[in-house]
């Protein structure tokens, strides 16, 4: 059985592409055959995050417009041979692909892959329609800020209108701020959006360090964000993984903060 | 925040987390209340059906609307009644 999941958010820059790359690698590490489709035409990023930017020959636009088969456009990951990227064009714009073309493509690719993850562009225009149409269910990524949660709610309305199941990932949580009561936590976001949550990803500087090198953070299992993404992958595979409390600094570190500045 | 709050991670005042939570709740009520005209029409027809069991109403003059104020949203209906039905009390 194949599963097609769209990773979306409404608001830009909250971590859709970062999440898509890590979930893709995580599923591949568990032996699944995975395709990642970048639908952010004109602003492609997934190739960079996976370290595959120099291997692109054809793109999603070529495939959707039937110039080549999807197999010719797929780029195999260097380390995980069962992970593939279908990159999009950096020059075309979102109108180059019709939602119906995308649906057909996804339905063809289903036969070959265990998981297809679709990285959605920000916004609610045609790019969103195209990304969403072929998906079985959706991951909505948000961050603990009023504006991002509000945009997530808008996207959730759109997704529910087309009967997609939705699961939530809250990204960039700062455990110390949550503890101090200066940031929304997963429970309060859950309460507002009333959706099942499959991930709580801490804000982690190593995410940028890893992406500089074209490595999805999940490959670094000694990082807080990497481990949190690994838990998400387990949950997607149906494992019952409890949410662990974040490690926050102890009393003495807080003492240092107070007297340090 | 006092030094004491900083050390023990607490404060008696409403936290900014709580403020964010409350603001979001209100914003989303308003956002979600932007119901499409089709949905409003469905609601209107359903109301007509229910009320008609009890009263003879002026369907054409009836109006329903969502009205917002600072922290709440209300569904307001104006339904002119032409006549009460004789059998209204006997239903159920
Ligand atoms: N958990 C995290 N901790 C720290 N930085 C993060 C985290 N997640 C994402 N980022 C950073 O946030 C930025 C935006 O991430 P990303 O590109 O994945 O977002 P996006 O939702 O795909 O953006 P867009 O809407 O432009 O497509 C990047 O610089 C990324 O490194
Ligand atoms: Mg992106």
| Residue in B with minimal Cα distance to A194 | B25
Cross-chain Cβ contact A192/B23 below 8 Å: no
- On whether the CB atoms of residues A17 and A5 are closer than 8 A, the answer is no
- Every domain of chain A and the residues it spans: 3-260
Give the span between the Cα atoms of A46 and A119, in whole angstroms: 8
Cross-chain Cβ contact A181/B11 below 8 Å: yes
Q: What SS3 class is residue A184?
A: coil
Give the span between the Cα atoms of A153 and A159, in whole angstroms: 10
Place of tokens 């679709």: A118
The ipTM value here is 0.81
Residue A127's pLDDT is 95
- Render pLDDT for B7-48 as a digit per residue (tens, 0 to 9): 555 545 789 999 999 899 888 877 887 767 778 888 899 999
Pairing relationship of beta strands B55-57 and B81-84 according to DSSP bridges = antiparallel
Residue located nearest, by CA, to atom 2 of ligand 1: A203
Q: Answer whether CATH 3.40.50.300 is correct for domain A3-260.
A: yes
Is the CB of A112 inside 8 Å of chain B's CB atoms?
Answer: no
Does the beta carbon of A201 lie inside 6 Å of ligand 1? yes
| Residue in B with minimal Cα distance to A253 | B7
DSSP codes of every residue in A132-169: HHT-SEEEEEE-SSHHHHHHHHHHHHHHHHTT-EEEEE
Alpha carbon B56 to its chain centroid, in Å, reads: 25
Give the span between the Cα atoms of A237 and B29, in whole angstroms: 34
Q: How far apart are the first and last CA of chain A?
A: 56
Cross-chain Cβ contact A153/B32 below 8 Å: yes
Tell me the pLDDT of chain A (261 aa) as tens digits. Answer: 799 999 999 999 999 999 999 999 999 999 999 999 999 999 999 999 999 999 999 999 999 999 999 999 999 999 999 999 999 999 999 999 999 999 999 999 999 999 999 999 999 999 999 999 999 999 999 999 999 999 999 999 999 999 999 999 999 999 999 999 999 999 999 989 999 999 999 999 999 999 999 999 999 999 999 999 999 999 999 999 999 888 765 555 555 555 554
Q: Kindly report the backbone phi and psi dihedral angles of residue A124, in degrees, each rounded to the nearest multiple of 5, phi listed first.
A: -125, 20
Pairing relationship of beta strands A34-38 and A83-86 according to DSSP bridges = parallel
Cross-chain Cβ contact B16/A182 below 8 Å: yes
Place of tokens 């009890």: B54
Does the beta carbon of A122 lie inside 6 Å of ligand 1? yes
Q: Which residues pair with B83 in a beta bridge?
A: B56
User: What is the layout of strands, in order, in the sheet containing A34-38?
Assistant: A75-76, A83-86, A34-38, A115-119, A3-8, A137-142, A165-173, A197-202
Handedness of CA A143, A145, A151, A155 (dihedral sign): positive
Q: Which residues pair with A197 in a beta bridge?
A: A168
Torsion-angle region of A194 (φ positive above 0: left; ψ -120 to 50: alpha; else: beta): left
From the CA of A119, give the closest atom in ligand 1.
22
Closest ligand to residue A15's CA: 1
Place of tokens 């990773």: A7
| Cα A12 to ligand 1 centroid, rounded to whole Å | 9
Look at residues A148, A146, A142, A154 and name the one whose alpha carbon lies nearest to residue A201: A142
Distances in Å between the Cα of A4 and the Cα atoms of A52, A133, A135, A196, A229 are: 22, 10, 5, 18, 18
Does the beta carbon of A12 lie inside 6 Å of ligand 1? yes
Count CB neighbours of B8 within 10 A. 11
Distances in Å between the Cα of B83 and the Cα atoms of A136, A189, B58, B61 are: 52, 49, 9, 14
Is the CB of B32 inside 8 Å of chain A's CB atoms?
Answer: yes
Distances in Å between the Cα of A102 and the Cα atoms of A64, A133, A150, A205, A248 are: 7, 7, 28, 35, 44
Best residue among A94, A117, A143, A207 to mutate for probing ligand 1's pocket (most ligand atoms within 8 Å of CB) is: A207
Give the span between the Cα atoms of A250 and A57, in whole angstroms: 51
Question: pLDDT: is A187 or B65 the higher one?
Answer: A187
Count CB neighbours of A23 within 10 A. 26
């Amino acid at each position: 059985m194949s599963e097609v999941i769209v990773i979306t958010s409404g608001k830009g820059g909250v971590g859709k592409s970062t999440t898509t790359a890590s979930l893709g690698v995580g599923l591949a590490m568990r032996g699944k055959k995975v395709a990642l489709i970048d639908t952010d035409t004109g602003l492609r990023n997934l190739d960079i995050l996976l370290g595959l930017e120099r291997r692109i020959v054809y793109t999603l636009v070529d495939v959707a417009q039937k110039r080549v088969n999807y197999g010719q456009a797929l780029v195999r990951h260097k380390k995980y041979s069962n992970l593939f990227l279908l990159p999009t064009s950096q020059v075309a714009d979102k109108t180059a692909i019709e939602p119906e073309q995308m649906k057909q493509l996804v339905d063809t690719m289903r036969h070959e892959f265990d998981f297809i993850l679709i990285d959605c562009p920000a916004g609610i225009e045609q790019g969103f329609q195209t990304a969403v149409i072929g998906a079985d269910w959706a991951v909505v990524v948000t961050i603990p800020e009023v504006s991002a949660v509000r945009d997530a709610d808008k996207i959730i309305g759109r997704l529910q209108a087309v009967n997609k199941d939705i699961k939530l990932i809250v990204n960039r949580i700062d455990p110390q701020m949550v503890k101090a009561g200066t940031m929304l936590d997963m429970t309060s976001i859950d309460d507002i959006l009333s959706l099942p949550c499959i991930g709580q990803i801490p804000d982690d500087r190593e995410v940028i360090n890893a992406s500089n090198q074209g490595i999805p953070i999940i490959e670094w299992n000694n990082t807080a964000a990497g481990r949190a993404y690994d838990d998400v992958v387990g949950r997607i595979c149906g494992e019952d993984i409890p949410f662990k409390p974040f490690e926050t600094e102890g009393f003495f570190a807080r003492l240092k903060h107070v007297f340090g500045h | 925040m006092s030094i004491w709050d900083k050390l023990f991670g607490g404060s008696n005042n409403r936290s900014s987390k709580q403020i964010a939570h409350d603001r979001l709740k209100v914003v989303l009520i308003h956002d979600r209340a932007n119901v499409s005209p089709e949905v409003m029409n469905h609601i209107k027809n359903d109301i007509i059906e229910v009320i008609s069991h009890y009263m003879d109403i002026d369907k054409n003059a009836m109006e329903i609307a969502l009205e917002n104020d600072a922290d709440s949203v209300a569904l307001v209906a104006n339904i002119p009644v032409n006549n009460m039905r004789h059998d209204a009390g006997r239903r159920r």
